[in-house]
Amino acid sequence: MMKTAASIVRMHHAHQHNRPRIGLLAGWGEYPVCIAEKLNRLGYDVFALGLRGHADTRLGMLCREFRWIGAARLGAAIRFFRRYDVHQATMAGKIQKAIFFQPLAFVKHVPDWRAIKTFAPHFLKNNKDRRDDSLLATLVNAFAEHGIEFRPPTNYVPELLVDYGLLTLRKPTAKQLKDVEFGWKLAKEMGRLDVGQTVAVKGQAALAVEAIEGTDECIRRAGKLCRAGGFTIVKVAKPQQDMRFDVPTIGRGTLETMATAGATVLAVQADKTIIVGEDQVIDFANRNKMVIVALEADGATNSLNQQDVAA
């Protein structure tokens, strides 16, 4: 009988002894796949839970054990990690948060008892808010109560954090840099309030601000409002950014959405933004005459080298 790729990986792991174990809670996108691949190279046995409807099926071939799990099955997730003696874990990937605001969303996702008990103050009693930081902190604290510590994924893939400076061949104009600085202040304030991390601006006016819909939908909305195109996207880390979760992330898909909507400039925060598939991202930007620039936390553009600014 022909062995599947997943069974071959598990057989390989079975012959390894004393490998450290790590859990992975995977959402949507390429990022969790990159994490799993790197953890394998680092010598970890990966025990992953893929969020149903979100996670990439390739994870099944990259992990010692892989299970699909519903968004409200907290107790099952804790039991999975405990069953395999996992005490260290990380999370990566986007969660489509809008699903939690559908009618009777909490009930429709069939929460187990642990999820009901943990998240009732947020969804049933309304004693606590549903901001990203609030929900994710509640989640990791629930795991911690059972001896499972979540750590930042960038501890394992620091090379995915974008470096400071101009990433593309095309340089920003002075006018575009004014939009970057304007948008930076706005995005930082939205991040401080835990509303979102992305804004779209043109002519130092806000076109769209990200909320629960996510970065791509924010960009698309800006494109509908600014048919002329030529606007700027600014995506930053929150001032209180917890690197364990909700770290700003961009990939080729981000640039494709920008190109379709008409955005021409992307400004991100250096050392706090994950770039997945950097070579592909930069190549796409160069071919489509787009600008990508990574700045320090204050968003100041005057520290850019003069040769990085268009005349």
> Domains in the chain, start-ordered, CATH in brackets?
5-155 (3.40.50.20), 161-308 (3.40.140.80)
Token pair belonging to 285: 């930007």
**Which single residue is written with the structure tokens 């990259």?**
62
Contact present, 264 and 289 (Cβ < 8 Å)? yes
Specify the pairing of strand 21-26 against strand 88-92.
Answer: parallel
Q: How many CA atoms lie within 13 A of 295 on its CB side?
A: 25
Output b/e per residue, 170-206; b: 16+ Cβ within 10 A: bbbeeebbbbbbbbbebbbebbeeebbbbbbbbeeee
pLDDT at 1: 43
Over the stretch 260-303, which tens digit does the pLDDT of each residue have? 999 999 999 999 999 999 999 999 999 999 999 999 999 999 88
Residue type, 208: A
Q: What values do phi and psi take at 83, rounded to 5?
A: -60, -35
Q: Report, as ranges of residue numbers, the positions in the chain whose pLDDT lies below 50.
A: 1-2, 8, 14-15
Over the stretch 153-174, which tens digit does the pLDDT of each residue have? 999 999 999 999 999 999 999 9
Contact present, 198 and 234 (Cβ < 8 Å)? yes
pLDDT at 4: 54
Q: Where on the phi/psi map is residue 195: left (φ > 0), alpha (ψ -120 to 50), or beta?
A: alpha
pLDDT at 2: 45
Q: Which 3 state secondary structure label does DSSP give 213?
A: coil
Q: ∠ at Cα 78 (73, 83), nearest 5°?
A: 125
**Which single residue is written with the structure tokens 């979540």?**
150
